[in-house]
Amino acid sequence: MKLVSYWQDTAPRFSGAIDGAIEGHFDAGVIGGGFTGLGTALQLAKAGLSVIVLEAQHIGWGASGRNGGHLNNGLAHSFTAAKANLGRERAIALYKAFDDSIDTLESFIAEEGIDCNFRRAGKLKLASKPKHFAAIAANFEAVHKEVDAETALLTTSELKDEIGAPFHGAMLSKKSAMMHMGRFAKGLADAAQRRGVVIVEDASVTEHVRGDQKHRLTTAKGTVTADKVIVATGAYTTPNLSFFRRRIMPIGSFIIATRPLTEVEVGSIMPGNRTCVNSMNIGNYWRLSPDNRLIFGGRARFSATSNQNSDIKSGAVLRESLRLLFPQLAGVEIDYCWGGLVDVTADRFPRAGYHDGVWYAMGYSGHGAQLAMHMGMTIADTILGRPDRNPVKDLEWPAVPGHFGKPWFLPIVGSYYRLLDRIS
């Protein structure tokens, strides 16, 4: 079993990062080389700006290469809850931003000829308990009527052609998609480089100083200056960017991938071949990979740590969850086990905008793979003076009380959600 991301292990590494020391002045400096940062850089470079991307590890190393491979439209919340929290107009705008983000990805992948197995698969939100179906049905009615007619409500009997496990109905979101995250990350970086973006790996920003006319960004590879700075670091935000760090809770998300399954095994568990998520508070999500592995993830442990030790422990939890869901796969070999950090906000809504001289986009709360590049491009368009399409513009973002970087409260949160799953 490899303790590395399947997406990163089965994709070629980006080879266009510059080697050696860096210096000079740029129109824009982007901190973070994931989907958000690269999307921002690409859009700015296409408009003629000089752009440098500073990545602490390697391109796609963080959440962009450590996720479940889903591109799901819709919201992390129910639409009705989003309306209650955000108001109807903003809730609709945010919902449509997820739709637009998948359209953006589809068009970009086609234009650039990126081989990343993009496919409109549809997503199933599956009712794990009979009473969960009522909540799913209520959300479906609101979504279908007000914002997304390309949805359907499936009964238990209709699910027999979709999934080989006992669920009590589901909502199908037909616009949702999937892709190979590692191949896409490389393709996005290649596209940015072709437009003149300077990409630097192993260049964590250790100091950011804002002067009267420009920003100074210091890394182990040298110091550069920029007229504008965009922070796209998510759960991997460093202490020197404390404003964002106090508002982002880094939470571990863990994933396993089986050996390639036979056609018979695939037919017994996932005949519908969609992305899937269940309705538990501490839930699971899964899909098939391009080579027919089952990629199965979830919040196996409420932790802000992702390393080999924590990944192995979480992998054991996920293996048991997989056995309970699909007993026909009991004993199947697990080829990959990995974890990563998800940038979660207190209300689980993303944030993007401008603060104290710095632009930013983050806080996707487990729904960033589809939204991140689109939000990066949206922020870039705002910087360029184009129409502002930011669906969360000026949304209040208070610091999490008592949170200064390491979320000590996660075990308490985990215990609370486990209790909810037992009684609800």
Of 95-109, 257-271, 312-326, where does mean pLDDT reach its minimum? 312-326
Is a pLDDT exceeding 80 seen at residue 302? Answer: no
How much is the average pLDDT of 244-270? 95
Mean pLDDT computed over every residue of the chain: 93
CA proximity to 237, closest of 354, 414, 355, 363 = 363
- Six-digit token string for 218: 């210091």
Report the percentage of the chain scoring pLDDT > 70: 94
CB atoms within 10 A of CB 306: 22
- Six-digit token string for 26: 């740029």
Q: What's the distance, CA 167 to chain centroid?
A: 26
What is the model's pTM? 0.94
pLDDT score of 252? 83
Is a pLDDT exceeding 70 seen at residue 414? Answer: no
Report the percentage of the chain scoring pLDDT > 90: 85
- Six-digit token string for 36: 């958000």
User: Nearest 10 degrees: CA dihedral of 161, 173, 370, 105?
Assistant: 90
Is a pLDDT exceeding 70 seen at residue 408? Answer: no
CA distance 394 to 402: 23
Between 372-383 and 35-46, two packed helices, what is the crossing angle to 10 degrees?
Answer: 40
Query: What are the tens digits of pLDDT across the range 316-345?
Result: 999 999 999 999 999 999 999 998 888 999
pLDDT score of 286? 98
Give me the residue label for tokens 């990979």: 289
pLDDT score of 305? 66
Query: What are the tens digits of pLDDT across the range 357-370?
Result: 999 999 999 899 99
pLDDT score of 230? 98
Query: What are the tens digits of pLDDT across the range 378-397?
Result: 999 999 999 999 999 999 99
Q: Grade residue 418 by pLDDT with cuts at 50, 70 and 90.
A: low
CA distance 414 to 408: 12
pLDDT score of 167? 97
User: Phi, psi (5° rounding) for residue 235?
Assistant: -70, -10
**Please, are residues 400 and 392 in contact by the beta-carbon 8 Å criterion?**
no
Query: What are the tens digits of pLDDT across the range 184-222?
Result: 999 999 999 999 999 999 999 999 999 878 999 999 999
**Would strands 205-210 and 215-219 be described as parallel, antiparallel, or unpaired?**
antiparallel
Is a pLDDT exceeding 70 seen at residue 301? Answer: no
CB atoms within 10 A of CB 388: 12
CA proximity to 336, closest of 290, 288, 294, 366 = 294
How much is the average pLDDT of 288-315? 82
Length of the chain: 424
* 6-415: CATH number: 3.50.50.60
pLDDT score of 411? 63
For the chain, the domains span 6-415
pLDDT score of 409? 59
Q: Grade residue 312 by pLDDT with cuts at 50, 70 and 90.
A: confident
Q: Grade residue 313 by pLDDT with cuts at 50, 70 and 90.
A: confident
Separation in Å, CA 58 to CA 14, 126, 269, 358 = 8, 36, 35, 23
**Please, are residues 178 and 288 in contact by the beta-carbon 8 Å criterion?**
no
CB atoms within 10 A of CB 137: 13
User: Phi, psi (5° rounding) for residue 361?
Assistant: -155, 125
pLDDT score of 347? 93
CA distance 31 to 248: 16
CA proximity to 71, closest of 373, 358, 319 = 373
Of 171-185, 270-284, 409-423, where does mean pLDDT reach its minimum? 409-423
